[in-house]
């Protein structure tokens, strides 16, 4: 699947409605509401998350064992090697916040890569502005 920073992931564009996602991807394997009251559509290898207020797509989360090849802009990731280091280097300004590595220039955040927690490994593409309110509380991430 290809992520285009702040625009889309695969055929899904940030800001799409539930109906548009359903029409594009079909029926999800399951749906759930998370602890932030956001609806999630679970598909094979990734999750589409909808904003609790606007009900529009705000994030896509990709899981390494199920999602296969992932591309962020023109960067191909095979989940092998040091994905975190490579993405941090390309982004140029990584930040850490409560277990997440946030890459504002690439529009993605990672979890599970820097702390060796394979069960938590995921890369999420987020819409512009989602992490901005936390940036002043984030520490620069040294890789």
pLDDT at 112 over 90: no
Give the domain extent around 79: 2-140
pLDDT at 24 over 80: yes
Of the pLDDT bands very low, low, confident and very high (cuts 50, 70, 90), residue 69 is confident
Under DSSP, is residue 124 helix (H, G, I), strand (E, B) or coil?
strand
Asked if pLDDT for residue 61 goes beyond 70, the answer is: yes
Question: Average of pLDDT values for 9-35?
Answer: 97
Kindly tell me the burial class for residue 26, based on how many C-beta atoms sit within 10 Å of its own C-beta (0-12, 13-18, 19 or more): exposed
The pLDDT assigned to 81 comes to 67
Instruction: Please give the residue that has the higher pLDDT: either 115 or 90.
Output: 90
Q: State how many domains the chain has.
A: 1
CA neighbor of 135 nearest in space, from 106, 98, 110? 98
pLDDT value of position 76: 86
The lowest-confidence range among 15-19, 48-52, 111-115 is 111-115
């Amino acid at each position: 699947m290809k992520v285009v920073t702040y625009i889309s992931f695969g055929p899904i564009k940030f800001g799409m409605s539930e109906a548009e996602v359903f029409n594009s991807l079909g029926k999800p394997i399951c749906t759930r509401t998370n602890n932030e009251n956001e609806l999630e559509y679970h598909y094979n290898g990734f999750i589409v998350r909808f904003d609790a207020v606007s009900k529009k797509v705000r994030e896509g989360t990709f899981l390494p064992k199920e999602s296969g090849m992932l591309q962020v802009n023109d960067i191909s990731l095979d989940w092998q090697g040091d994905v975190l280091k490579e993405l941090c280097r390309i982004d140029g300004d990584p930040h850490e916040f409560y277990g997440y590595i946030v890459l504002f220039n690439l529009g993605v955040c990672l979890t599970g890569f820097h702390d060796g927690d394979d069960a938590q490994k995921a890369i999420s593409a987020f819409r512009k502005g989602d992490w901005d309110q936390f940036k002043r509380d984030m520490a620069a991430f040294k890789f």
